[in-house]
Amino acid sequence: MIDDKRMIFQGYVINNQDPLMLGRIRALPVDQVEADILPINWNPEKDIWTERDPLIFLPLLPYYISQIPKIDEYIHIFYYNTEMVVDNSKFYIQGPITRPQNNFFESWHNSESMLASGVFLKQANNIKDPLSFEIKAEAKGIYPEPGDNALLGRGTSDVIVKQEEVLIRAGKNIPTQTAGFNLPTPRLNRAFVQLSNFELERGERPPKKVTELIKKPLVVKKLIEWEITNQNSITGLTQNNSVTGVTYYDGNIKLYSLLPKAKVTTIDIHMNTPLDNFKAGPEYELFFTGQTLEEGVKIINQFISGVNNGKINVQNYEQYPFDNSLQISRQFPFYFRPSKNNVDKLSSTGSTDFNMVNNFFTQIKLLPSNKEYGSVLVWTKNIVGQQLTVQTNTLDQNVYTSNPVSYGTMAADTLYLLSHKTDIPSKRKIVLEPKETLYGIPQPFFTEIIGKNTDPMVRGNELMKLLTLIVNFLESHVHNINEAPIPVAVDGTKIEEIRNILQNSDNTILNQRIRLN
């Protein structure tokens, strides 16, 4: 007699090999000792699984739903009468597991972590975010969703029944679900059967062309960096004995080619963009000293204008390209900007260095009429800034009609379609012996028997291409009565094309992975 107020009791499986195959198990309540329950004169060889065995529990689920726990797994125990716990009117149902990854096996001690008796045990990691209710990306689609019915296997197989869809899957994830706290990932080449029903049928209208203006990034081809390195002021007296002065500047300008990389585009490059890893060169550079502001600006602008026009011609400097017959080509789009040293000086607002660089920065332009200065993208000749590009897209137009439509799909690495009443005359007849295949076909039977005695399926469209070529050639070929046919027909069909298709037919016309008998 059990003297407490429990309704459900805890136990674990010690034997699941029911001789009657009715789903019965032998189990022991966790708070009892086996020796105290077994009857007097117990014979473990003769009495087990008989009416004398007090440890037999019937499944609470009906026979038509078979779900038998493994040895040492947790069960819930139900007694028809708690005052008579050793008779046959006692039942079990499998208890909880701690995480879906453990569906292959979970010891009863681990299962306790989900109950009040196991609060001291470590809890599993979440698969779904407790706030957003979103399943973690790496596990999405592996486990049943709330609202769907499911029958789950002990590994990577299951049956999912949704409102308008049925999925039968095997090999749905990797690694296997016994991977502890690690989340499995979906398997691309899983085997499955999917039956789907949709209330609306999707049809297609003729494609529609849409033209729009977009900011299409282009790879920047050239980079010009200008730099003011020094300034000197010279003062003196005028005829009226007042003080006057002139400031002279030193600097340089360098032309680089940029490597065609994804990070070197018209939308990526700005005044501060690090580009040292993408520079090739410099391919041309010039230096100036002792120039006034007006003279220095003129030199830099002539340099930029030269790249824009294809030939750098700065007064008192050697031209580039050096050969008169050559031009700078494929330079657009290009970018001109101050050097890193000068960019740093521009950040020191109000300082002498800032004024030195800024005096140049505001006057360096591609064209005098431009509003953009100092650091500028040149899109094409005489055009600055990112330009809009005309792009025409062809859009599929779908239409949905209120006409329920269903789809059936079967997928696996290799598919076999077998008929018991047919066979291939030139091959061995496939006999699915019950003792070998009734509870599932083993892999060796697939590879050694079925695979070798089936033929590949024919791809209809590919076969029609070959037949059309043959018919065209027969209809339009010509030949002399005493000579072989001319290899090219009047309509241009070549016999060589037919031969090529036939040579590749094992992989084009035939699908070796979908086979039938």
Quick: pLDDT tens for 111-125: 777 776 665 556 667
Once rounded to an integer, what is the mean pLDDT over residues 452-457? 93
Regarding whether 166 and 241 lie in a shared domain, the answer is no
Q: Which of 226-230, 317-321, 345-349, 353-357 has the lowest mean pLDDT?
A: 345-349
Q: How far apart are CA 447 and CA 453, in angstroms?
A: 10
Regarding whether 418 and 371 lie in a shared domain, the answer is no
Is 111 contained in some domain?
no
Regarding whether 309 and 273 lie in a shared domain, the answer is yes
Is 44 contained in some domain?
yes
pLDDT at 87 over 90: no
Is 420 contained in some domain?
yes
Closest Cα partner for 432 from 412, 453, 413? 453
Is 107 contained in some domain?
no
7 conformational bin, left if phi > 0, alpha if psi -120 to 50, beta if neither = alpha
Contact 372, 380 (CB under 8 A): no
Question: Which class for 399: exposed (0-12), middle (13-18), buried (19 or more C-beta within 10 A)?
Answer: exposed
Tell which of 43, 71, 95 closes a domain.
95
Is 121 contained in some domain?
no
Once rounded to an integer, what is the mean pLDDT over residues 208-215? 91
Once rounded to an integer, what is the mean pLDDT over residues 228-257? 83
Closest Cα partner for 142 from 191, 100, 95, 194? 100
Between 355 and 351, where is the model more confident? 355
241 conformational bin, left if phi > 0, alpha if psi -120 to 50, beta if neither = left
Structural domain of residue 27, as residue ranges? 9-95
Once rounded to an integer, what is the mean pLDDT over residues 274-284? 93
Regarding whether 190 and 244 lie in a shared domain, the answer is no
Strand 74-79 and strand 405-411: pairing?
unpaired
DSSP state of 482: T
pLDDT at 512 over 60: yes
pLDDT at 182 over 90: no
Q: Provide the b/e sequence for 97-132 (b: ≥16 CB within 10 Å).
A: bbbbbbbeebebebbbbbeeebeeeeebeebeeeee
Once rounded to an integer, what is the mean pLDDT over residues 172-184? 68
* 90 SS3 class: strand
DSSP state of 273: -
pLDDT at 323 over 90: yes
Regarding whether 435 and 367 lie in a shared domain, the answer is no
Regarding whether 190 and 227 lie in a shared domain, the answer is no
Which tokens in the block code for residue 258? 């940029």
Regarding whether 166 and 65 lie in a shared domain, the answer is no
The residues near 260 (Cβ < 8 Å, ≥ 6 apart) are 219
pLDDT at 482 over 90: no
Closest Cα partner for 192 from 410, 406, 407, 408? 410
pLDDT in tens, 359-417: 999 999 999 999 999 999 999 999 999 999 999 998 888 888 888 999 999 999 999 99
Q: Average per-residue pLDDT in the chain?
A: 88
Regarding whether 350 and 229 lie in a shared domain, the answer is yes
Closest Cα partner for 178 from 265, 287, 66, 99? 99
Regarding whether 508 and 476 lie in a shared domain, the answer is yes
Q: What is the pLDDT of residue 411?
A: 93
Closest Cα partner for 308 from 242, 250, 234, 255? 255
Is 443 contained in some domain?
yes
Q: Which of 85-94, 252-261, 288-297, 493-502 has the lowest mean pLDDT?
A: 493-502
Regarding whether 366 and 253 lie in a shared domain, the answer is yes
Is 166 contained in some domain?
yes
Q: How far apart are CA 219 and CA 216, in angstroms?
A: 10
Closest Cα partner for 17 from 54, 71, 63? 71
Is 102 contained in some domain?
no
Regarding whether 228 and 375 lie in a shared domain, the answer is yes
Number of domains in the chain: 4
* 324 SS3 class: coil
* pTM above threshold 0.75: no
Q: How far apart are CA 226 and CA 121, in angstroms?
A: 68
pLDDT at 2 over 60: no
Q: What is the pLDDT of residue 501?
A: 78
pLDDT at 204 over 90: no
Q: What is the pLDDT of residue 487?
A: 72
- Continuous segment of H or E residues that includes residue 35: helix 34-37
Domain harbouring 53, CATH code: 2.40.50
Q: What is the percentage of the chain residues whose pLDDT exceeds 90?
A: 59
Once rounded to an integer, what is the mean pLDDT over residues 429-450? 90
Backbone angles phi, psi at 150, to 5 degrees: -150, 150
**Quick one: three-class SS letters along 64-81?**
CCCCCCCCCEEEEEEECC
DSSP state of 366: S
Q: How far apart are CA 120 and CA 111, in angstroms?
A: 12
Q: What is the pLDDT of residue 123?
A: 65
72 conformational bin, left if phi > 0, alpha if psi -120 to 50, beta if neither = left
Q: What is the pLDDT of residue 102?
A: 81
pLDDT at 492 over 70: no
Regarding whether 231 and 191 lie in a shared domain, the answer is no
pLDDT at 238 over 70: no
